[in-house]
Chains A and B, each alone.
Chain A
Amino acid sequence: MASLLDFSLVDARAALAAREISSVELTRAYIDQMAATAGRNAYITATPDKALAMAEASDTRLAKGEGGAMEGLPIAIKDLFCTEGVLTTAGSHILGGFIPPYESTVSSNLWASGAVMLGKTNLDEFAMGSANVTSYYGPVENPWRSTDAPDKKRVPGGSSGGSAAAVAGRAALAATGTDTGGSIRQPASFCGIVGMKPTYGRCSRWGIVAFASSLDQAGPMTRTVSDAALMLGAMAGHDPKDSTSAAEPMADLSAALGQDVKGMRIGVPAEYRMDGMPREIDALWSQGIQWLRDAGAEIVDISLPHTKYALPTYYIIAPAEASSNLARYDGVRYGLRVDGDSLAEMYANTRGEGFGPEVQRRIMIGTYVLSAGYYDAYYLKAQKVRALIRRDFDLAFETVDAILTPTAPSDAFAIGENEDDPIKMYLNDVFTVPASLAGLPGVSVPVGLSARGLPLGLQVLGRMFDEGSVVRAGRALELAAGFDVSAAAREG
């Protein structure tokens, strides 16, 4: 029998249902692997006792032939989701010691479907970053090493870097992530796993520590596309507690997985072929186009003319919303307090000490672009360009069913690189941010290795609420690529 850690979510579910393995056995195997790989710092908080108690309860239900869609499956939760009674940090010093008295809707849905919680994963502070290096709890190490510099520790991407590293390194069977500008898809690409951001509104934001509310969206990080479809089904659903939660029904994703791409029209946007893009990424993209063509899809050249404006638009909108959302951290209701001679001084001292440099930078940018006299020039302008970016996609989706692009402009860089200039770090999200601004669903699928042996992903984007096409094309890429998601775990 294969190692317990090699099961995908879907296979583990089948083995549990057939009583070939127990949830306690499976969960113990993951707890052992978490301890063995603790040096990677993928988890901020491990909850082994809670995991075993949940696994025992799952085994009891499974023995009676009961159980939900995720029954007995041990997963990790990004430490941005509030978990009742379990420390929730958002990777920030300012939330030090915060024990939520309530459970986020997404994690609550997962527990209701039978999932087992292994712990809370590391992330960039308030999900602001693309390398997991802004976390107050320290950087996360990618389980993959390059062939040319095998002694160098590499970033897992971000902001859901702990989740990606845990799934790739077999320290979780799957994990939740959140994606504001690429925070699920880019780390999935860096760690050689599948990361899916559903349509904005699919997963409730209630109980997720807010970053940029018009962009934040939760999604699954898994080893296969089928696993992502299964887990998304358990996470998603309309929630009256989130006023932007969507009620649109989701396609039957398991049916979509079974369909091939014959007759699908796949768009290839000219503007994603950028100056200075590494040749191997371009080559991999061409390979992906060929795979889908060979599988029977029709490839259509499309244009998304406002693509180059997506990042600067994002860096107005996201910091603006963040500066407003993060106003709640005032040293009064939770977390850190640094005293001062007056209330105003206490606020400023607390926030000055509690927020790290990247978060402070974004609060400053956000405060400035929303301030009197600059709102129209920056924020309103960005909202207008956002409308144009969305219109580009709407027009493209009149002729195509899905869009294929690279996920990220590079493979995983070493810890310490790209930290000299914030804009360099922001450019990591050049291919993921446009769909975030438009609200569209997307998945990153691992499809190959760079010349130095690091994973690379391709991204499939779909129409609003059309996760079915995303999963369908993603599955076709996965089948054609035959990427070995276990490689890093075996060597590590």
Chain B
Amino acid sequence: MSLDKATVASIATLARLRVPDDRLEPMVDELNNILGWIEQLSEVDTDTVAPLASVTGHSLPLREDVVTDGGYPDRVTANAPESVHGFYAVPKVVE
């Protein structure tokens, strides 16, 4: 299958990426090129194969759900482009 310009624009919206109009067309070609190359996987018969998500075979460990760290909002927000009173600040989302 191959992507059209509208689909690529909608993937960009899902990915929260602003793609300028003049980049959209070349990106359609680049993505189709890569997806076309990936398409060769359809040759592989995987009907009876279980997907592999963990290479070590370990099950994920559990721990107590307790606070082990924290209490220093100034350090945590020190890298924020904008912070106020120990909180991250963002553009207004509710009118």
Which chain A residues lie closer than 8 Å to B8 at the CB level? 364
Nearest B residue to A362, CB-CB: B34
B38 touches which one: A312, A330, A383 (CB < 8 A)?
A: A312
A238 shortest CB reach to chain B, Å: 10
Whether B85 sits at the interface, judged by CB under 8 Å, is no
Q: How large is the interface on B (under 10, 10 to 19, 20 to 34, 35 or more residues)?
A: 35 or more
B78 touches which one: A101, A199, A348 (CB < 8 A)?
A: A101
- Whether A243 contacts B61 by the Cβ 8 Å rule is yes
Nearest A residue to B10, CB-CB: A371
- Whether A365 contacts B31 by the Cβ 8 Å rule is yes
Nearest B residue to A323, CB-CB: B15
Which A181-230 residues have a C-beta within 8 angstroms of B?
Answer: 199-201, 214
Which B18-52 residues have a C-beta within 8 angstroms of A?
Answer: 18-20, 27, 30-31, 33-35, 37-38, 40-42, 44, 46, 49-52
Whether B93 sits at the interface, judged by CB under 8 Å, is yes
- Whether B44 contacts A423 by the Cβ 8 Å rule is no
Q: Which of B13, B50, B51, B81 has the most CB of A within 10 A?
A: B81
B63 shortest CB reach to chain A, Å: 7
- Whether A309 contacts B44 by the Cβ 8 Å rule is yes
Which chain A residues lie closer than 8 Å to B31 at the CB level? 361, 364-365, 368
- Whether A390 contacts B49 by the Cβ 8 Å rule is no
Q: How far apart are the CA atoms of A308 and B38 in the complex, in Å?
A: 11
- Stretch among A136-144, A164-172, A334-342, A472-480 lining the B interface: A334-342
Q: How large is the interface on A (under 10, 10 to 19, 20 to 34, 35 or more residues)?
A: 35 or more
B45 shortest CB reach to chain A, Å: 9
Could you mark each residue 327-366 of chain A with 1 if its beta carbon is under 8 Å from any beta carbon of chain B, else 0?
A: 1001111111101111111111101110100001101110
Which chain B residues lie closer than 8 Å to A349 at the CB level? 18
- Whether A244 contacts B58 by the Cβ 8 Å rule is yes
Known contacts: A200-B55, A309-B40, A309-B44. The answer to whether A367 contacts B15 by CB under 8 A is yes
- Stretch among A52-60, A374-382, A406-414, A484-492 lining the B interface: A374-382
- Whether B53 contacts A348 by the Cβ 8 Å rule is no
Known contacts: A312-B37, A422-B33, A422-B34. The answer to whether A386 contacts B51 by CB under 8 A is yes
- Whether B19 contacts A352 by the Cβ 8 Å rule is yes
Whether A129 sits at the interface, judged by CB under 8 Å, is no
DSSP class of B's interface residues: helix, strand, loop or mixed? loop
Q: How far apart are the CA atoms of A21 and B34 in the complex, in Å?
A: 53
Known contacts: A312-B41, A364-B27, A423-B37. The answer to whether A335 contacts B18 by CB under 8 A is no
A342 touches which one: B41, B44, B81, B91 (CB < 8 A)?
A: B91
Known contacts: A99-B79, A312-B40, A332-B81. The answer to whether A387 contacts B52 by CB under 8 A is yes
B80 touches which one: A332, A347, A381, A384 (CB < 8 A)?
A: A332
A361 touches which one: B13, B30, B79 (CB < 8 A)?
A: B30
- Whether B44 contacts A351 by the Cβ 8 Å rule is no
Whether B4 sits at the interface, judged by CB under 8 Å, is no
- Whether A364 contacts B37 by the Cβ 8 Å rule is no
- Whether A333 contacts B56 by the Cβ 8 Å rule is no
Q: A339-B91, A384-B52, A386-B51 are in contact. List 5 more A-B contacts (CB 8 A).
A: A306-B44, A344-B16, A360-B19, A361-B31, A390-B55
14 example contacts (A-B, Cβ-Cβ < 8 A) are as follows A101-B75, A312-B40, A323-B15, A332-B80, A333-B79, A344-B16, A345-B18, A351-B16, A352-B19, A352-B20, A360-B17, A363-B17, A385-B46, A386-B51
Which 3 A-B residue pairings sit nearest by Cβ, starting from the closest? A439-B55, A352-B18, A383-B51
A-side residues, CB < 8 A to B, are: 97-99, 101, 199-201, 214, 240, 243-244, 246, 306, 308-309, 312-313, 315-316, 323, 327, 330-337, 339-349, 351-353, 355, 360-361, 363-365, 367-368, 371, 378, 380-388, 390, 421-423, 437-439, 464
